[in-house]
Chain A
């Protein structure tokens, strides 16, 4: 069990993070984050208690909680029935459960940074900031308030 838990980082519902949140492992986030989340090649789950006021970059993004910000899922974005998302989505695949609330734009992109063939009028791919410097295997985070 301990080895398995090491594969996924966990931010509990009492944790508040303000600042840049990045890492090189999957993350289950059930607390509050304000700032920016960059898990470029990892998966992110925002739990039902999760409250995110940030732009989110990850490979797969599954949302159960609330997000105010743009979501960039390199592979997939899923909004579960309890999800509330105010912001734009850019991804290759989107799944929205009945009951989810979404306000924003959806841009389906095939392949990293490319639009679907024939689509001439889409906005350019979002700028990709360099990932934050990692000092440990776990997520690097800004100010943490518990």
Chain B
């Protein structure tokens, strides 16, 4: 009896506290700059390509915008995407299938995109196609925020999810195990986003390079 009463009869049901894992605050110049680009006007469409985060959704919708969430890394990690590779016994990611299922939006849909550090973790065959797809689905002058590791911390380095705390502060929370795939140099980043209009680099203290890209 109490079960149903708790569901409907007790007023607004409070959610359980978020994950008990620690959240590490991190000031972010790049995110601050990104936020400035999306302050006005209201009603922008912001695409978050990280894991589902209540904080991020609350922040984006609190600015009066529509939040879109698509956890690209989780999708890219699916074993269902694996197909035989060119070398015998090897496997690779089915890029076509991934793009058929993910990032399926009309052209020029989004005013801004949060990539976080997915470029460092995506399987190699997906990196360029994902960036090209993002170019297609973002509007001219759209802002993209992308983070890149400046050094490889090893196979046991934790993967962190990014939560937005406020306009200049993020919180890092250890997330599911993803293996760092690569460390981009500046010229590689410039090449990756060569079709975009401008790139601005911000170097963080924690071996993270923050990059603000304008489409």
Interface residues of A (CB under 8 A from B): 1, 4-5, 7-8, 26, 28, 43, 45, 60, 62, 76, 78-81, 94-108, 115-116, 118-122
Contacts and interface: CB of A to CB of B under 8 A. Distances in A.
B57 A122 contact: no
B16 interface: yes
Contacts of B69: 102-104, 106
Contacts, number: 93
Contacts of B57: 94, 96, 106
Interface stretch (B6-14, B79-87, B120-128, B152-160): B6-14
B1 A103 contact: no
B197 interface: no
Contact of B66 (A62, A76, A122): A122
B71 A101 contact: yes
A105 B61 CA distance: 11
Contacts of B70: 103
B78 interface: no
Contact of B64 (A43, A100, A119): A119
A43 B74 CA distance: 31
Interface of B: 1, 4-5, 7-9, 12-13, 15-16, 18-19, 41-45, 52-54, 57-58, 61, 64-71, 74
B201 to A, nearest CB: 30
B52 A1 contact: no
B64 A105 contact: no
A43 B18 CA distance: 23
B66 A101 contact: no
B4 A7 contact: yes
Contacts of B13: 62, 78
A78 B15 contact: yes
Nearest to A5: B4
